[in-house]
Structure 1
């Protein structure tokens, strides 16, 4: 796999979605990655074509461990801690960066992954490069906990305005909006 450094948003999106699959975040809904097919769906949803073989039970277990590690990097208190954690992830399967021309002829940095690297290592490299790009471009202040009451989710905000508040806007944001709407209806009566 060849990971473009300029495309850090993909790695961040994968990190955010991976962390949000955890039973810690999903509560009673349980693990959103219970089987290798669910992991394959997550990868396909991000358009990731890894060099590793399709997910099996062993790869899924490794990705569950990576999920915890990714959450730990997002929860760091300082930029230095976030960079150190992301460097560990990027180094899992990443090799030395290379400079190559893109289709338009412009020079772009890429991080290739090692041949034969396991799925979790390649995924760690994608996430690590994404998190490093987010720290460099947006700053550590974009690594946040979810603002929804009772939610234990964390995420990296790569939105243009930098005002994202929820780990899963369609779930947590909607739940907060519905609760606010109901509270307004009650107070109006």
Structure 2
């Protein structure tokens, strides 16, 4: 399912797609060099930001028609990343909801009902025409985090379980048992470390 749908001069964010939006918000936070201590900044330039948006199927109005993100867009997204992290680290549901509502309000307008591909009515949140890229992305993150709290609970906002990792994420998995901010990276790293520890313990026991 597409996360955003262009409609006229604005963008429609489907509320039913909160999980994809929450994943985008989590992944945005974890592009930071604070999290990627060994590899560094994952959004070092506008091209990397464009690739991030494309990877999450975020067709924002600010970059419609083949326009590329600017250096100012990148700087604003870096600032947004800190705000999203702060919400994922909130201590209470009330704090999380208040913070996510602020993000949503940066570009989003009142909810509307639109028909989907199966001719069913679905809630969408449109963004204001001409909104900056970071504000549109903030609206996406806000909807994702609000949806997570509403459907799954604030306890789904978690720190990464990998030792030494400073990543955080919203767990929107069906089982609710996700442990790592970047499962392919942090999970594999921990498995390798545990394997080496077992081999070393086995060698010392001989």
The TM-score range, normalised by the shorter chain, is over 0.9
Give the match's secondary structure for 2:42.
coil
2: CA distance, partners of 1:112 / 1:2: 4
Unaligned ranges ≥5, structure 2: 1-10
CA deviation vs aligned residue, 1:98-153 (integer Å, no higher than 9, x gap)? 01221212110000000000000000001100100000011001000011111111
Residue from 159, 171, 187 that aligns with 2:185: 171
Deviates more, 1:99-108 or 1:16-25: 99-108
2:40 pairs with 1:26: no
Q: CA RMSD in A?
A: 0.8
1:18-57 matches, cutoff 5 A:
18-53=28-63, 54-57=68-71
2:150 equivalent in structure 1: 136
1:92 equivalent in structure 2: 106
2: CA distance, partners of 1:120 / 1:30: 21
1: CA distance, partners of 2:77 / 2:132: 10
1:104 equivalent in structure 2: 118
1: CA distance, partners of 2:173 / 2:202: 34
Give the match's secondary structure for 2:36.
helix
Unaligned ranges ≥5, structure 1: none
2:92 pairs with 1:78: yes
Residue from 52, 59, 80 that aligns with 1:66: 80
- Once the two structures are TM-superposed, the CA of residue 28 in structure 1 deviates from its matched residue by 3.3
- Once the two structures are TM-superposed, the CA of residue 181 in structure 1 deviates from its matched residue by 0.8
CA deviation vs aligned residue, 1:35-80 (integer Å, no higher than 9, x gap)? 0000000000011110003211000000000000000010000011
Number of equivalences:
189
TM-score, scaled relative to structure 1: 0.98
- Once the two structures are TM-superposed, the CA of residue 184 in structure 1 deviates from its matched residue by 1.2
